[in-house]
Amino acid sequence: MMGQPRGWRPTRVQALWMIGLGASCYGLISPVMKTAFAQGYTMEGVTAAQYFVALLFWAVAGLAVRTGNRPKGREMIQLFMLGLIGSGGTTVLYYRSLIHLPASLAIVLLFQFTWITILLEVVLERKPLTARRWQALLMILLGTGLAVGLLHDQWEGGISWVAAAMALGGAVTYSILLYGTGRIAVQTSPVRRSLFMSLGSGVPILLTTPLTAYYTAPSMAGLYGWGVLVALLAQITPPLLFAVAIPAVGGGAAAVLGSMELPVAVVAAALILKEPVGWDRWLGVALILAGVIWSERVNRRGRESPGT
């Protein structure tokens, strides 16, 4: 098991649940953002508002929480860069790709993070890739295609290869986030880790947000109301859960559990947005869940069953 900060340490099963919960929060972002758009708020405005809310939260939390080790100078820089590339880079690249790509294609490209993260572990750490993990990845990728409706999307008008490259870039940066979270400054306080990552994530977000996003919102109170909700789902709950849980299980397992984002997004779209969900999308959800269970089946001692 990898290094953990002093204090409470989750078991493997607890860590898997925490990662699944964090990924599920990400799955709720899409219907929440669409609801905000329907009320006249822009992607740039809500994104900037949620960043300021999250930064304020982590700044206050960092001052209030005095337990745990503080990151050292080099670790501060590493966490800042992880936030800049992993969190901020994913937000900017994926959201920008959605402007020019069908959502179904964009999310399929983003979900390549599942195998990219595992590939990072295989190449950089020479970790063996079990047959069960291969089988789970195939189930998840197939389920992703079904869940986003690839059977009936025609993508009329062609595909922007620049936007497709941006979506794939988002998959790479998200993989870096999952991989790095399990290895950088793992002995320090999760709150302080999240603070420096939040500082870094703001750089690409603020640089790509036009000034008009701050004063054209229907209501500033409403804008920051949505900002609070999105911040909780994107930059507060998942980073804290990941900071505690990923060091206990590794980036590969986190990548598999991260696929829980899509089933939650599909269910939320059906319940919150009242979007029609066909049999193929429900089958895709079932395949993703089956892949997660198959990959992370554990025995009573909290480890993978023999023969995997």
Please write the tens of the pLDDT for every residue from 245-291: 888 888 878 888 888 888 888 888 788 878 777 788 788 888 888 88
- Among residues 130, 149, 166, 151, the alpha carbon closest in space to that of 256 is found at 130
Percent of the chain with pLDDT over 70: 87
Q: Please say if the pLDDT value at position 183 is more than 90.
A: no
Distance CA 215, CA 217 (A): 6
Beta bridge partners of 152: none
Q: Of 134-138, 187-191, 229-233, 261-265, where does the model show the most confidence?
A: 229-233
Compare 139 and 85 and report the one with higher pLDDT.
Answer: 85
Say whether pLDDT at 232 is over 90.
Answer: yes
Query: Residue 7: is its pLDDT beyond 70?
Result: no
* % residues pLDDT > 90 (the chain): 16
Distance CA(35)–CA(23), nearest Å, equals 20
Q: Which of 131-140, 145-154, 169-178, 205-214 has the highest mean pLDDT?
A: 169-178
For the chain, the structural domain boundaries read: 12-298
Confidence check: pLDDT of 159 > 80 = no
Distance CA 64, CA 248 (A): 25
CB atoms inside a 10 Å sphere around CB 289: 17
Query: 102 near 157, Cβ under 8 Å?
Result: no
Predicted TM-score of the model (pTM)? 0.81
Asked if pLDDT for residue 158 goes beyond 70, the answer is no
- What average pLDDT score do residues 35-61 get? 88
Three-class secondary structure of residue 276 per DSSP: coil
Helix, strand, or coil (residue 17): helix
Q: Measuring CA to CA, how many Å separate 172 from each of 17, 168, 226?
A: 24, 6, 28
The dihedrals phi and psi of 236, each to the nearest 5 degrees, come to -120, -65
Burial class (CB in 10 A: 0-12, 13-18, 19+), 52: middle
Q: What is the pLDDT of residue 83?
A: 92
C-alpha 212/C-alpha 48 separation (Å) is 11
Q: At 297, is the pLDDT very low, low, confident or very high (cuts 50, 70, 90)? A: low
β-sheet bridge partners, residue 188: 69
Which residues lie closer than 8 Å to 64 by C-beta, 6 or more apart? none
Residue 210 has pLDDT above 50, yes or no: yes
Who has greater pLDDT, 19 or 114? 19
pLDDT at 31: 84
Tell me the pLDDT tens digit for each residue of 138-147.
Answer: 888 888 888 7
The radius of gyration of the chain from alpha carbons, rounded to an integer in Å, stands at 19
Task: Choose between 308 and 42: higher pLDDT.
Answer: 42
Q: Maximum CA pair distance of the chain?
A: 59
The CA distance from 287 to 16, in Å, is: 18
Q: Which two tokens stand for residue 2?
A: 């990898």
Residue 98 has pLDDT above 60, yes or no: yes
Q: Using the structure block, give the residue that is written with the tokens 């008008």.
A: 157
Nearest to 115 by CA among 91, 133, 100, 94: 133
In which band, very low, low, confident or very high, does the pLDDT at 307 lie, cut at 50, 70 and 90? very low
